[in-house]
Chain A
Amino acid sequence: MSARPRRDPHAERERATRVGPSGRARRILGGAVPAAPVRPRRNPHVLRMAAVPGPAGRMRLDPHGGELLAHLPSLATPGAEQPIVVERPACLILAVLDLPGGRLEGSDFGLLAAARDLADRLEGAVLALTLHGRPDLSRLGVDRHIALDLPDRWDPIARLAVLRAVLADQAPAHVLFAETPLLGADLARRLAAATGLAAAFAVHRLEPEEVRARGAGLDLVGPPPPIMTLHEVLLADRPEPALREARPVPLAVEPDAGLVEDLGEIPVDLTGAPLAEADLIVSAGDGVTDWPAFHTLAARLNATVGGSRQVCDRGLLPRDRQVGASGTLVAPKAYLAFGISGAPQHLQGIERCQRVVAVNTDLHAKMIERADLAIVADAQAVMPALEALLERRRHG
């Protein structure tokens, strides 16, 4: 791939232009023109090749740029990777990450992307606060990083104490949270209530001059307040993978014991949990005849049981298990469909599933088309095999 520098005449001309006091633009001629930055050239063939990972892969148009740019050395900063350093930021944007279970989640990426964007436009720096786990944030647009390791239990009071210490220490201009229940949304409101600082919740447009926060059927519009939580439409983004220093910042804080005592998670049999909140669903359609195997598998996965309309109509599953337009619209992280052909109403119901695995004997079933992992096989054979595999795995 060639990294031949390429001239950008537009940029050169722009840089050579100065606006005089009279308001007229004047071109500076001669050698006093500042050099335009050199951008590498783009090789479309390589781009295409890089976009198609294998013979099974399908090419898809990604309107948001996707991760393509990250894979392409041609577009990344050429030469050795030097982290971008912001030495004297105009302000600090504090991003308080969710890190559920100590892992980076989608909401964290979106939060950092928004924080990065705001910091860039205010010529500030992104300060990330993580309360447990030690994620590497250097490629997530983070300039400074306060990493604490609080015990992994729900203690909002301790978190609030940490947050107040950070505010006192670093005086960030804005504190950004994701509007995620029990995590960002909870902490942001606690902070707002405790400090009395102005806050905007569920911000869905974030500009340095003006933010739009979603109220009840209306938008609240105003200048960015100190505390903001980001609506989920902003959280789908991801920061550019440029290397930044993510400089560790120390923080001395002794969180006091809170009022709320976490007595631990209650083991819940999720097979009968409400479908709308489930994050793992195993679903049965007409192609399932071995019901004991289906239910054993669901219990083994502790996955919520769902079914097609036909199955519920026949009373093989209760009505509240029906997935689809006339049943429940589901949004799990993964949806395992056994023997479901994929009626339009059913596909409507699983529109918001993040990942779909389908097992069906018909190669041309709509469900196979929709699935991220499609297996053309008899559900009756796959279900016990999967169950046995899980069983073996459990016993080491």
Chain B
Amino acid sequence: MAEIVTLLSAGCHPETGRLRPAAGDAAALALGLALRASGHRLIGLHAGPADDALRVYAGFAEFDLVRLNLSAQADALPVILPWLALRRPALVLAGPKAELGAGTGLLPYALAEAMGAACIPEVAGVEELAERVTLVQALPGGRRRRLAAPAPAVLVAAGRLAPPSGWAYARAQRARLETVPATALEPVAATAWRNEPARPLARPVRRIRGGAAARMAAATSFTAGEGQLLVQPAPDEAARAILAYLEGQGLLRS
């Protein structure tokens, strides 16, 4: 049976900033646990300085947990890659975005690029894993699509997927974590990027060309709302109105 590695990063509660299982990584773990139930071997991999970040995931199930000992600032990719090259897993599972730091969601793509493997985002389930992996991808609106790719592949779990059920305190406490020393790399060259506290998201102020009058017009003018009202129409009339409305919005599936 194949070996599957699921990448587990330190999660961060959005309001309190405290450690927790990252939602996306927990979703990836749910995919991994489903595969483990069909006989595959699952390894949870974390690259970071502390056991606690990994231990919070141990509560979900009993599975192998490996931590690559790495400082918090170091780039994880150069450490994960050689470890994966040694283990040669059939699948690497990841969450869509980290909850700490840049959280670009680039890592799985970079990993796949370096492994020469396919990277598939928005994965909602894995149906079959052998030479090829057959999987289900989540599309907007709850729809699903089936894809196939050769193994090894990097799968990014759909972020909205539910975490595994059954987090248990005792499992997390009793879990045994394997720590692998990782060779420290030279610090990343300083980039032009700097971190700043998140500013509130705001729609951009639209630049209105044409001077004060146009700006005034834009700010004070009215546009029609959609508010349509039918009072006591015949049922057929009402039905036609709804249907026409839905079709106008392009929302009818055949």
Q: In the complex, are there CB atoms of A and B closer than 8 Å?
A: yes
A259–B110 CA distance with the chains assembled, in angstroms: 16
**Chain B residues within 8 Å of A263, by CB:** 134, 145-148
Would you call B239 and A333 a contact (CB within 8 A)?
Answer: no
A78–B110 CA distance with the chains assembled, in angstroms: 51
Would you call A51 and B224 a contact (CB within 8 A)?
Answer: yes
Q: Is A29 an interface residue (CB 8 A)?
A: no
A280–B148 CA distance with the chains assembled, in angstroms: 28
Would you call B207 and A117 a contact (CB within 8 A)?
Answer: yes
Q: In the complex, which of the residues A42, A157, A382 has the most CB atoms of chain B within 10 Å of its own CB atom?
A: A382
Would you call B221 and A212 a contact (CB within 8 A)?
Answer: no
Q: CB-defined interface of A78-119 with B at 8 Å, one 1/0 digit per residue?
A: 000000000000000000000010010000000000000100
Would you call B242 and A52 a contact (CB within 8 A)?
Answer: no
Would you call B140 and A279 a contact (CB within 8 A)?
Answer: yes
Q: Is A189 an interface residue (CB 8 A)?
A: yes
Would you call A373 and B226 a contact (CB within 8 A)?
Answer: yes
A53–B239 CA distance with the chains assembled, in angstroms: 24
If A117-B207, A273-B142, A301-B253 touch, does A218 touch B239 (CB 8 Å cutoff)? no
A270–B222 CA distance with the chains assembled, in angstroms: 38
Q: CB-defined interface of B98-140 with A at 8 Å, one 1/0 digit per residue?
A: 1111111110011011000111111000000000001011111
Q: Is B72 an interface residue (CB 8 A)?
A: no
- Closest chain B residue, CB of each to CB of A278: B142
Interface class of chain A by DSSP: mixed
Would you call A193 and B106 a contact (CB within 8 A)?
Answer: yes
**Chain A residues within 8 Å of B141, by CB:** 270, 277-280, 332-333
Task: List which A352-396 residues lie within 8 A (CB) of chain B.
Answer: 354-355, 357, 359, 363, 368, 371-377, 381-382, 384-386, 388-390, 393-394
Task: List which B217-254 residues lie within 8 A (CB) of chain A.
Answer: 217-233, 235-236, 238-243, 245-246, 249-254
Q: Is B188 an interface residue (CB 8 A)?
A: no
**Chain A residues within 8 Å of B153, by CB:** 259
Would you call A302 and B253 a contact (CB within 8 A)?
Answer: yes
Task: List which A199-238 residues lie within 8 A (CB) of chain B.
Answer: 199, 201, 204-206, 212-223, 231, 233-234, 236-237
Q: Is B37 an interface residue (CB 8 A)?
A: no
Q: How many residues of B contact A (CB 8 A)?
A: 95
The stretch of B46-54, B85-93, B175-183, B193-201 that contacts the partner chain: B193-201
Q: CB-defined interface of A340-361 with B at 8 Å, one 1/0 digit per residue?
A: 0000000000000011010100
Would you call B221 and A68 a contact (CB within 8 A)?
Answer: yes
Q: CB-defined interface of B183-225 with A at 8 Å, one 1/0 digit per residue?
A: 0000000011111111101111011111101100111111111
Q: Is A34 an interface residue (CB 8 A)?
A: no
Would you call A260 and B149 a contact (CB within 8 A)?
Answer: yes
Q: CB-defined interface of A42-62 with B at 8 Å, one 1/0 digit per residue?
A: 100001100111101111111
**Chain B residues within 8 Å of A5, by CB:** none
Q: Is A295 an interface residue (CB 8 A)?
A: no
Would you call B12 and A217 a contact (CB within 8 A)?
Answer: yes
If A51-B222, A357-B245 touch, does A212 touch B232 (CB 8 Å cutoff)? no
A374–B232 CA distance with the chains assembled, in angstroms: 11
**Chain B residues within 8 Å of A192, by CB:** 106, 109
**Chain A residues within 8 Å of B148, by CB:** 260-261, 263
Would you call B119 and A66 a contact (CB within 8 A)?
Answer: no
Q: Is B14 an interface residue (CB 8 A)?
A: yes
CB distance from B25 to the nearest CB of A (A): 12
12 further interface pairs, Cβ-Cβ under 8 Å (given A217-B103, A219-B198)? A63-B219, A65-B218, A103-B250, A194-B113, A212-B196, A218-B101, A220-B102, A222-B193, A223-B192, A260-B118, A334-B251, A375-B230
12 pairs of residues in contact across A and B, judged by CB atoms under 8 Å: A100-B140, A216-B103, A218-B195, A220-B102, A237-B203, A265-B139, A266-B144, A266-B145, A268-B142, A334-B249, A377-B232, A382-B235
In the A-B complex, the 7 residue pairs with the closest CB atoms: A216-B103, A279-B141, A65-B218, A273-B142, A385-B235, A372-B226, A59-B222
